[in-house]
A and B are shown apart, each in its own frame.
Chain A
Amino acid sequence: MRKTTVAKLVSAAALTASVVSLAAGPALADPPSGTTPAATDIVGVGSDTVQALFNQLSTDYTGTPKLYSWDATGTSPITTKTGATSITRPNGSGAGITALGSTTSSTVDFARSSRGPQTGDPTTDDFIAYAKDAVSWAAKSGGDAPANLTKADLQGIYACTITKWNQITDISGFTGSANTIQPFLPQSGSGTRSFFLSSTGITTIGSCVNQTVEENEGSNTLLQTNDSVVPYSVGHYIGQVYFSHGSGTDVQGPLTVRNLDGIVPIDTTNKTISSAYAVSAYSRNLYNVVRAGDWNAGDSHATALKAIFSSTGWICKNATAQADLKSYGFLPLALCGVISHT
């Protein structure tokens, strides 16, 4: 009964997304060329996984002050808004959270994060959950990788104790080649990297692992060999493949997202994260991170933040925003706006 209910939620998400995704205007990377956000506008940096989503949300949000989002990659440094201190462009959730902590609202108002709070984050930050994503692994279509890997397989691959496909013996029907596996990880500031490692129990990263790739970019030729393995946001992949939200380097290329522990990540019929994967250990919440001091200040800036991010705010309650979430591959969160801390 419970699975049926979750499945209905997931299916409804997909249907809504398919109907509404084309209603909004096109998303633009970064604030539009020639536009410098005003000092009072709400400006975010951080996660690669949700940068495309936030470009769309920024386009669709019509409130005042406006909402702007800076991509994880691009020219650097950046001056985020009028009067801001120039900063190195934060690439990833961790870098965004760090930037939030090292600046004031004159420069950064929120950090996009694809991971939850963890040890080392400022205790003065509020993590505001708004959607559900999941992480699995991806490999080249037609390459040497199987359709499924277990958590134990991934632990071995990333520890470099499993280096060839024929050392994988726990996948029914799979006879691996003698070719050498090429494991990749996103850069250290990536929330997808952080969540992938923690959810799969990978504690040892061997020297065979390339840790330099940008996440969710199958356009990278390093990942296009027959033997590459890389973590991938399931939601981001769905947005790229099923809703045509990829562009430039932000595309899936020849990669396909594979099963983990036998759980199929994508409901290809409904074009959404599968109900089984959504309740697995490999699902994660997506957050916007704000300074608690800003959130609770009781001033116009706090009002502006809450108008966008709170449980009764635009992202959680507006039909266009919710349709954007679904169109970019993510699941709505019933407890949208719930706040957590380190």
Chain B
Amino acid sequence: MKKNENEYSIIVNDVYKRFKLVYDKPFTLKERLIFWKNTKVGYHEVLKGIDLKIKQGETVALIGVNGSGKSTLLKLMTKIIYPTKGTITTNGKLTSLLELGAGFHQDFTGRENIYFNASIFGLTAKEIDARVQEIIDFSELGEFIEAPVRTYSSGMYMRLAFSVAINVDADILLIDEILAVGDQHFQDKCYAKLEELKRSGKTIVIVSHSLPSVKKLCDRAVWLYKGEVREDGNTAEVIEKYLEVCG
């Protein structure tokens, strides 16, 4: 039984997520007291009963049109937000790449930011020391690593951020639509690295609109449609069905 549980990296169990839409949000006490009846509140149901089990070592793509709940599901998995109903269990160290360079300090150098960013992912100083050269090499920033991040171009910025996140050595990697940035050379390198991680048995969940690259990388695709799982299975088949409807 115990072993059975460990087989899965992520278990999403009947998850609902409802966002409260508050117009004229009362931020102050006065507004709260005076307008407590007048606040217009709407609800937006983003996820409606998602059931998903992702096995250890699986590479899963979440596909779907804008607003279908892909990013919300990813955010729920990282515990940035919490489900309205249902549970999500994750097994193992988890790193998410929802937005690149979150938590970068503009005035710090690239090297300092590596330390800062990696510590946000839960690494200790020693672990970062061991990886820092690898991260710098991967980012191909060279001597710019000693310059403040605010002097970076957006491509350099993104390369550094991606290099940190991908070298964290997590068991589960969640990636949200970020591989579209960077030049062809770096993109290829990122996919090569993802392939490598995949081979080493990491679990990867990726949200992407770039279907060809998803098809190459992932063994499984989940098509979300209006907050529900519409299709789940072999990547090529799911994408084909998806394209029939939405293409």
Q: A and B, one complex?
A: no
- Chain B residues engaging chain A, CB cutoff 8 angstroms: none
